[in-house]
């Protein structure tokens, strides 16, 4: 047989499957120590998270069931609730609204908008037909507008269910006994940068729109919440709120009664890790505990077997 034509396979490490490899297998004792180490790490992290979370001052006031807001809210929407601070809330203080039992993430709901329209493009009725049904025209919105640009049959801009059900309660906070003159709530940093830069643009011809899509409250609303109980940022107070009493005046417009929803206003500070959320820290502590105990048990029993009974465990 010709040497060149030999069928002999090559003798490379790859072809003979002799490539260098290693295995992560470790002895049980080492494994135990590894878990003790990880456990300690988790316990520390967990404590940090819990203490951070505890440092957040958060006041949540449900107001849809408050008598003042409940009675005849459709005709007299203004109502006032009291906020009692027993310690100072350092700036920044954030104002959120919370709605429960509302499925913003329902398939039909969160896709019910036309993205080109939201980005500032003029869309015809045909363009928006497949996205915005059943809220396509001004008539569908239920808004009675009749001017040169808009009538009941003209294209709703923005169209769709999401825009139509835009949350429109407003809040003002007035100090009662806290030593400051007023509480200034600013609305300029509510939405994400990308929302402002790319996702929401007014049409060149603003008259075609029934509302300002560059309004940050609108952007926040259009950012679909992941859970049926959700908080959305409403405003930011850039100064401290001293200890004392405050009156929150609510323009109570938004109807949640049909779907058994609840509305609440939340006033909260933040920590290094954001808002109040203790479950992450608790989970960390649990994980750390399991890991530490498991590791200790393995190490302990392993040494016991080795020392007392002379059995090697690997």
We find the least distance from the C-beta atom of residue 149 to another protein, in angstroms, to be 26
CA–CA distance, 295 with 287 (Å, rounded to integer): 12
Residue 217 near residue 187 (C-beta atoms within 8 A) = yes
Q: Closest Cα partner for 235 from 268, 283, 195?
A: 268
Q: What is the DSSP string of 173-192?
A: EEESSSS-S---EE-TT-S-
- DSSP code of 142? T
309 touches another protein (CB under 8 A): yes
- Work out which of 44, 78, 176, 301 binds another protein, going by CB under 8 A: 301
Q: Which of residues 1-30 bind another protein (CB under 8 A)?
A: 1, 6-11, 15-17, 19-25, 28
152 touches another protein (CB under 8 A): no
We find the least distance from the C-beta atom of residue 213 to another protein, in angstroms, to be 13
- Work out which of 120, 202, 277, 289 binds another protein, going by CB under 8 A: 277
**Contact range with another protein by CB under 8 A, out of 63-71, 150-158, 205-213, 275-283:** 275-283
We find the least distance from the C-beta atom of residue 70 to another protein, in angstroms, to be 18
Residue 25: alpha-carbon gap to chain centroid: 40
Q: How many CB atoms lie within 10 A of CB 134?
A: 12
- Work out which of 70, 149, 182, 279 binds another protein, going by CB under 8 A: 279
236 touches another protein (CB under 8 A): yes
**Contact range with another protein by CB under 8 A, out of 78-86, 120-128, 217-225, 242-250:** 217-225
Rg, the chain, Cα only = 30
274 touches another protein (CB under 8 A): yes
We find the least distance from the C-beta atom of residue 148 to another protein, in angstroms, to be 29
Q: How many CB atoms lie within 10 A of CB 242?
A: 16
247 touches another protein (CB under 8 A): no
- DSSP code of 208? G
Q: Which of residues 106-145 bind another protein (CB under 8 A)?
A: 106-110, 115-116, 119, 130, 133-135
Contacts with another protein by CB under 8 A: the residue count is 98
Q: Which of residues 173-202 bind another protein (CB under 8 A)?
A: 189-195, 198-199
Q: What is the DSSP string of 235-294?
A: EEE-S-B-SEEEEEEEE-----TTTT--EEEEEE--BTTBS---HHHHHHHHHHHHHHHH
């Amino acid at each position: 047989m010709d040497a060149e034509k030999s069928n002999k396979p090559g003798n490379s490490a790859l072809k003979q499957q002799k490539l260098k490899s290693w295995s992560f297998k470790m002895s049980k004792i080492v494994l135990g120590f590894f878990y003790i180490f990880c456990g300690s790490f988790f316990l520390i992290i967990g404590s940090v998270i819990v203490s951070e979370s505890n440092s957040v001052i958060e006041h949540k006031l449900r107001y849809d069931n408050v008598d003042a807001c409940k009675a005849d809210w459709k005709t007299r929407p203004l109502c006032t609730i009291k906020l009692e601070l027993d310690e100072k809330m350092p700036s920044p203080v954030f104002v959120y609204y919370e709605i429960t039992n509302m499925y913003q993430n329902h398939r039909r709901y969160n896709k019910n908008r036309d993205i080109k329209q939201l980005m500032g493009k003029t869309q015809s009725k045909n363009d928006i037909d497949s996205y915005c049904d059943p809220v396509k025209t001004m008539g569908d919105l239920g808004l009675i507008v009749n001017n040169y640009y808009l009538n009941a049959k003209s294209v709703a801009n923005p169209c769709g269910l999401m825009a139509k059900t835009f949350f429109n309660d407003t809040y003002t906070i007035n100090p009662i006994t806290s030593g400051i003159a007023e509480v200034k709530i600013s609305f300029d940093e509510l939405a994400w940068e990308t929302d402002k830069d790319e996702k929401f643009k007014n049409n060149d011809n603003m008259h075609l729109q029934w509302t300002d899509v560059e309004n940050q409250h609108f952007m926040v609303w259009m950012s679909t919440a992941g859970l049926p109980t959700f908080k959305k940022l409403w405003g930011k107070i850039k100064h401290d709120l001293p200890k004392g009493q405050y009156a929150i005046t609510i323009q109570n417009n938004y109807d949640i009664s049909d779907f058994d929803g609840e509305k609440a206003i939340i006033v909260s500070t933040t920590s290094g890790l954001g808002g109040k959320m203790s479950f992450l820290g608790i989970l960390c502590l649990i994980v750390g505990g399991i890991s530490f105990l498991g590791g200790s048990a393995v190490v302990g029993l392993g040494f016991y077997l080795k020392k007392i009974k002379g059995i090697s465990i690997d």
